[in-house]
Amino acid sequence: MTRRDGEKALAEVRARVGPRLRDAVSIVDRFCPTGYPVFEDNGIPGPGGAVGVRLSAWHSLFFALEADRPPPARHVPPAGVLPGEPYEVKPRRMPGGPLPPPDMNAPVTLVCLTLRYDPDRGWVELRRRLDPRWDDDLIDDHVVPCLVGFAHDAMARHVAGRDGTR
């Protein structure tokens, strides 16, 4: 999808997913450590914009708009230029220089990011692309497994006696 469409999709996610997250998290919030859950929205309308919830220091779920960036192109001299021979090089933007205007046709992706800390594997990130035609059922398909995993981890901590719940 283009950036223009992605910004509209992210605005709709903010409007519809925020309340759904609050309702869903209310089911498991008694298992959250003190100070959690924390609902966050960074307010960025374009790529980098995200809305989600931190369930603990080790669990979070976010919906975000990401720029689809192609892999960086290797600097290759034009064909026919001998090594050491001068040729025209495109100037680069220097730090502190003006940013180019955003390309509203640049490709972006709406994603669901789930982060979980596992003592054996470290940080584990599950990144799933959202279909641009998403609906409430698709959002639930992303939110519910995250909450089930969090509840499982919270109960395991509780049974082990190191839960820190309210």
Chain centroid offset of residue 15 CA: 17
Instruction: Tell me whether residue 75 is in a domain.
Output: no
Instruction: Tell me whether residue 80 is in a domain.
Output: no
Does the pLDDT at position 107 exceed 70? Answer: yes
User: How far apart are the C-alpha atoms of 8 and 46, rounded to whole Å?
Assistant: 9
Give the helix, strand, coil percentages of the chain, each rounded to 5: 35, 25, 40
Task: List, for residues 10-53, the tens digit of each pLDDT value.
Answer: 999 999 888 888 888 888 888 888 888 889 999 999 999 999 99
Q: Which comes out higher in pLDDT, residue 164 or 148? A: 148
Instruction: Tell me whether residue 166 is in a domain.
Output: no
Instruction: Tell me whether residue 100 is in a domain.
Output: no
* Phi, psi torsion values for 41, nearest 5 degrees: -145, 115
User: How far apart are the C-alpha atoms of 123 and 16, rounded to whole Å?
Assistant: 28
* Phi, psi torsion values for 146, nearest 5 degrees: -65, -45
Domain with 41, as residue range(s), is 3-68+106-160
Reported in sequence order, the residue ranges of 22-144 that DSSP labels E, i.e. its strands, are: 38-41, 50-56, 59-67, 108-118, 122-129
Q: Which residue has the tokens 């220091």?
A: 57
Instruction: Tell me whether residue 62 is in a domain.
Output: yes
pLDDT of residue 102: 86
Does the pLDDT at position 101 exceed 50? Answer: yes
Its pTM stands at 0.75
Instruction: Tell me whether residue 130 is in a domain.
Output: yes
Chain centroid offset of residue 139 CA: 14
Number of domains present in the structure of the chain = 1
Instruction: Tell me whether residue 30 is in a domain.
Output: yes
Task: List, for residues 120-139, the tens digit of each pLDDT value.
Answer: 888 888 899 988 788 888 88
Instruction: Tell me whether residue 51 is in a domain.
Output: yes
